[in-house]
């Protein structure tokens, strides 16, 4: 990814610096393109990277999503019930219900999942949010 440097080269022209992506970042970005209904262009925009570069990474077996980790075509995408609540410091946290998970997120937000859930789908969701 190229980014504009705020400095100038002395001739009034902004310099471009090249962004170096780690292998793990490339794998994570490529994995996101495998989600149903998500385009490479959407992922490219999210990371301010040219879509052609992502297509190049997708051709590399080191970064291409593992077909075994993808959902079977017969399985539809499912949404989990999620409630985002502001963290309150005045009251102690209520004990979690038996079928409830709470995940503290950056910015003081908490994700609460109630009822039955697919642990693998939840793990993919968390990985996607932590990128």
Q: Which CATH number characterizes residue 20's domain?
A: 1.10.10
The mean per-residue pLDDT over the stretch 19-45 comes to 90
Please name which of 108, 107, 111 lies closest in space to residue 84, comparing C-alpha atoms.
111
101 and 115 fall within a common domain: yes
The answer to whether 58 and 64 are in contact (CB under 8 A) is yes
Distance CA 14, CA 95 (A): 55
Q: Are residues 67 and 96 in the same domain?
A: no
Share of the chain above pLDDT 70, in %: 60
Domain count, the chain: 2
Residue 70's pLDDT band (cuts 50, 70, 90): low
For the chain, where are the alpha helices, taking DSSP H only? 23-32, 40-47, 51-59, 119-129
Q: What domain range is 3 assigned to?
A: 1-72
What digits encode the pLDDT tens for the residues 75-113? Answer: 555 666 777 777 666 555 555 556 777 877 666 667 777
Same domain for 66 and 104: no
How big, in percent rounded to 5, are the helix, strand and coil portions of the chain?
Answer: 35, 20, 45
Specify the pTM: 0.43
Confidence of residue 4 (pLDDT cuts 50, 70, 90): very low
Question: Are 60 and 85 part of one and the same domain?
Answer: no
Together in a domain, 50 and 106 = no
């Amino acid at each position: 990814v190229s980014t504009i440097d705020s400095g100038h080269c002395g001739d009034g022209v902004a310099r471009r610096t090249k962004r170096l992506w780690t292998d793990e970042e490339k794998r994570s970005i490529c994995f996101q393109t495998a989600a149903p209904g998500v385009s490479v262009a959407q992922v490219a925009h999210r990371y301010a990277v040219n879509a052609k570069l992502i297509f190049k990474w997708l051709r590399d077996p080191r970064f291409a999503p593992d077909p075994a980790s993808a959902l079977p075509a017969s399985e539809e995408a499912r949404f989990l019930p999620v409630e985002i609540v502001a963290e309150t410091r005045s009251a102690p946290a209520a004990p979690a219900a038996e079928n409830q998970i709470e995940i503290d997120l950056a910015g003081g937000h908490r994700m609460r999942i109630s009822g039955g859930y697919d642990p693998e789908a939840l793990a993919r969701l968390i990985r996607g949010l932590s990128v």
